[in-house]
Amino acid sequence: MALDGRLIETLDAAQAVMEGRLGGFAPEVGLILGSGLGPLADQVEEPVFIPFGEVPGMGTSTASGHVGRFVAGMLGGKRVLAMQGRLHGYEGYSAQEVAFPVWLMARLGIGTLITTNAAGAINESYRVGEFCIMADQLNFTGRNPVTGTEPDAMAPRFFSMMDAYDPALRALAHRVADELSVPVQEGVYLGLLGPSFETPAEIRMFRTWGADTVAMSVCEEVIAARHVGMRVLGMSLVSNMACGVEGASPSDEEVHEVGEARQEDFCRLVKGILQAL
């Protein structure tokens, strides 16, 4: 998939296809389900499945465990549009291609985005299997989806990233986690392009920058969401300690094993947040 200077035109086409497939269903919350977290979409009630490949401008997911489809329906009492899998820069997609489904969600009337992923812990007080609410981010992908002229036609080019992760949504997530007795951390997330895991030297550097977790997604999605005024809640599953922390050497298999083990609490937590919105 290549947008090739046709971002607005392609969004128009994608919006028309999605509205046709949704048949009058108007989603209010967008969900992006990261590595090991996709099974939450299987709990959507009266689901409508729309494979990414059937939507103009959408790429296909090649990452392990990413189904690569939209799932629309009811979850936690809210009308949701979930991405069961996401697009990554390391798959060869541009920043705008990664951001495309977020802009599409905004076109469909979605005002709140919950983005999730699996991440490595830089903060040595974190433990594998915990959840971490994103308080802020460090975009170290070297890319920004709002570069160029077409995004400027959608919303102002220059916009604030103060409170990129909505403070009220973060407070709500903490309250729900406490009510459900699901321990959560809160910290700064650092996003990289990938696909190689970080070196121990890089992790030591990132720690001095104030990063608590690290992974290969999310940042470009959040920039795109804030560009068009969406509220954002970000949450990571700590799937591994970052490279060199406590001698860790991360692997893709470890990420998916931890995701499977923590699936029940993840589903309880996200559904509880939706119910409380």
Phi, psi of 119 (to 5 degrees): -140, 155
CB 116 within 8 A of CB 270: yes
Whether residue 190 is annotated as binding a ligand: the answer is: no
Whether residue 3 is annotated as binding a ligand: the answer is: no
Rg (CA), the chain: 17
Whether residue 227 is annotated as binding a ligand: the answer is: no
Query: Helix (H) and strand (E) counts for the chain?
Result: 8, 9
User: How many residues in the chain?
Assistant: 277
Whether residue 86 is annotated as binding a ligand: the answer is: yes
CB 42 within 8 A of CB 21: no
Helix axes 263-276, 167-179, angle to 10 degrees: 120
SS3 62: coil
CB 79 within 8 A of CB 185: no
Whether residue 88 is annotated as binding a ligand: the answer is: yes
Whether residue 64 is annotated as binding a ligand: the answer is: no
Whether residue 198 is annotated as binding a ligand: the answer is: yes
CB 102 within 8 A of CB 230: yes
Whether residue 256 is annotated as binding a ligand: the answer is: no
Whether residue 211 is annotated as binding a ligand: the answer is: no
Binding-site residues sit at 35, 66, 86-88, 118, 198, 217, 240
Binding residues for a purine D-ribonucleoside: 198, 240
Binding residues for phosphate: 35, 66, 86-88, 118, 217
